[in-house]
Amino acid sequence: MVMDKIRPFAICICNDKFEYLERLKIYQTVPNGSDKSGYIRVIDESGKDDLYPENDFILFKFPQTVEQKILAAYKG
């Protein structure tokens, strides 16, 4: 995936292989920073970001006002 097409949020649709993901939960994404194609970097339940298969998520973007409120909640 090209960096400029990354959406800031992703919904997990498959967590069969990963203990730090909850199915149907919304996760914040961060720039991949890796040469691994087909993976996205997600801030998981451990609070750290890690690479996960892109196919395990639906990437999307909220309207700007909603995105700002969600990002503010992440910063808590």
∠ at Cα 22 (62, 65), nearest 5°? Answer: 15
- Provide the H-helix boundaries in the chain: 64-75
Q: Which helix (H) or strand (E) holds 50?
A: strand 49-53
Task: Specify the pTM.
Answer: 0.78
Domain span holding position 45: 3-75
- Nearest Cα neighbor of 22 from 60, 57, 73, 48 is 57
Q: Per-residue pLDDT tens for 18-76? A: 888 999 999 999 988 888 899 999 998 888 999 999 999 999 988 989 988 988 887 76
Q: Are strands 49-53 and 39-43 parallel, antiparallel or unpaired?
A: antiparallel
Q: Give me the CATH number covering residue 19.
A: 2.30.30
- How many domains would you assign to the chain? 1
Q: Per-residue pLDDT tens for 3-14? A: 444 468 999 999
